[in-house]
Amino acid sequence: MPEGFILVDPESQPESSPTPISFAAPTAQRAAWRVWALVLGAAVAWLLVWGRLQPFADWLTYEIIGLAPDSRLGESVAFFLYDVPKILMLLGGMIFLVTVVRSFFSAERTRQLLGGKREGVGNVLAAGLGVVTPFCSCSAVPLFIGFVETGIPLGVTFSFLIATPMVNEVALAMLFGLFGWQIAGLYMITGLAVAIVAGWFIGRIPDIEKGVEDFVWQIDVGEANIQASKPTWTERFEQAWRTTKEIVGKVWPYVVVGIAIGAAIHGYVPEDALADVLGADAWWSVPAGVLLGIPMYSNAAGIIPVVHALTEKGAALGTVLAFMMSVIALSLPEMIILRRVLKLRLIAIFIAVVASGILLVGFLFNAVI
Amino acid sequence: MIIKILGTGCANCKRLKQLAAQVIKELGIEAKVVEVTDISAIMSYGVTTTPGLVIDEKLIGYGGVPSKQQLTHLIQQAA
């Protein structure tokens, strides 16, 4: 998840140079109303195109390519031609929106907000901030040290670290596009719940601080009084546009391949073929999904179209949700990054607690739905 | 001028380093780009979101890669 470049307000630094420096980039001088008009125009165009995707995909498949409407190939192709632009549009819109929201937050600000909060309240706040704070796992080490040095309890820090990857805009956009808003909402709520409870639980373990590498406690964090200069709306939009281009540019191949596999499953795998293996009655498929998901690292973009097709063929929602969460929230690369500040024992505890939380979510949904 | 890129080797840190080197070359400014990877050194600037951009020991910004235009502007101002 890329982050926006944040300018430091020169005024907030004690040793700032005597002559005041204007940090406004030249682009900021572009008339604000023009940028707003551009954004609103794009939003309207987005909505207009959005409503015409299905007829367009059908027209392209059956009229132009000339496939028979009830053929398997025709069904798969129409599915693919509808889903790819739909998901890419949703991703673009969602990333843009979320980036604008995130421009009001920063990791430094989150650290200040969480400092002095007790466990419990702190866990809830940390999980919520985990969603809106711009953060990429490559910054996990300095962020972790910053949190710990500010006196934020370890459990609260973990709530943040679990929520950040789990509830992300790519996953939400994909879930919304393929499963609908109910499932996307469900995923968000349960994801936050796992982050809050798992973080809180880790904080309860006696002597948990000993699991942090010793050098972390000795680091002296510089003055935390640096303040970001407030970006203009033009800058927020420009940043959001750059981020949108960057993320969509990175994930679109996964989306296309994922949807192609999903479309093939959609057209060719018989209904209920998977009910025995991945259905709600196969209790063992939930832990199997979670275990399988831990070492797997795929972004949500590739994995969600495939699991969506699987649910159509009889896989239980809880099983699928648990697998997705495990893939997204517990990834080997992130564990390797965290290993620099956490001892192996604490990493193992971290994985075990989060995996248990995800497991619970899986069983709960299979039992309820 | 000494430009320090604070970062633990993330993709954005490398991109910022490249971009800074490129801008310096284009501006024809005499400057050195240094990568600071030691975590305690990075933290001493108060930065928790990498990469951080430090020009002549002054923290300019952090948390991402500025656009080339913005970076050019920032380096010109600091010069």
Spell out which residues of chain A touch residue B42, defining contact as CB-CB under 8 Å.
142
Query: How close, in Å, is residue A133 to chain B by CA atoms?
Result: 11
CA A16 to chain B, closest CA, distance in angstroms equals 8
Please indicate, yes or no, if residue A267 is contained in any of the structural domains: yes
Structure confidence at residue A26 as a pLDDT band (50, 70, 90): very low
| Residue A263, in any domain of the structure | yes
User: What pLDDT, in 10s, does the model give residues A249-299?
Assistant: 988 998 999 999 988 888 888 877 777 778 877 888 899 888 888 877 666
Identify all chain B residues contacting A115, using CB atoms and an 8 Å cutoff. none
Say what the pLDDT of residue A29 is.
53
A103 domain residue, yes or no: yes
Which pLDDT belongs to residue A16? 40
Chain segment B21-72, per-residue pLDDT in tens: 999 999 888 889 999 988 888 888 888 788 889 998 888 888 888 888 888 9
Residue A364 falls within a domain, yes or no? yes
pLDDT number for residue A203? 93
Q: Sketch out chain B's domains with CATH numbers.
A: 2-78 (3.40.30.10)
Q: Is B13 a catalytic residue?
A: yes
Q: Is the pLDDT of residue A18 over 60?
A: no
* Chain B CB contacts of A15 below 8 Å: 58
**Residue A280, in any domain of the structure:** yes
Q: Does A216 touch chain B (CB under 8 A)?
A: no
| Structural domain harbouring A138 | 32-220+235-368
Q: Does A81 map to a domain? A: yes
Q: What is the pLDDT of residues A37-69, one digit of tens each?
A: 999 999 999 999 988 888 888 888 888 888 887
Is residue A305's pLDDT more than 80? yes
Q: Is residue A11 part of a domain?
A: no
pLDDT band at A10 (very low <50, low <70, confident <90, very high): low
Whether complex ipTM tops 0.90: no
Amino acid at A105: F
Percent of chain A with pLDDT over 70: 91
The verdict on residue A322 lying in a domain is yes
- Residue A24 to chain B, least CA–CA distance (Å): 9
Residues in chain B with CB shorter than 8 Å from the CB of A226 are 46-47, 59
Is the model more confident about A334 or about A21?
A334
Question: Residue A297: what pLDDT?
Answer: 67
Quick check: A134 and B49 CB within 8 A? yes
pLDDT digits (tens, 9 = 90+) for A162-202: 998 888 888 899 899 989 999 999 999 999 999 999 999 99
For residue A225, is pLDDT > 70?
A: no
Higher-scoring residue by pLDDT: B5, A292 = B5
Q: Helix or strand or coil: residue B55?
A: strand
Q: How many domains does chain A have?
A: 1
pLDDT over 70 at A19, yes or no: no
Asked if B64's CB is within 8 angstroms of A4's CB, the reply is yes
What is the chain A residue with the closest CA to B63? A5
Q: What is the mean pLDDT of chain A?
A: 84
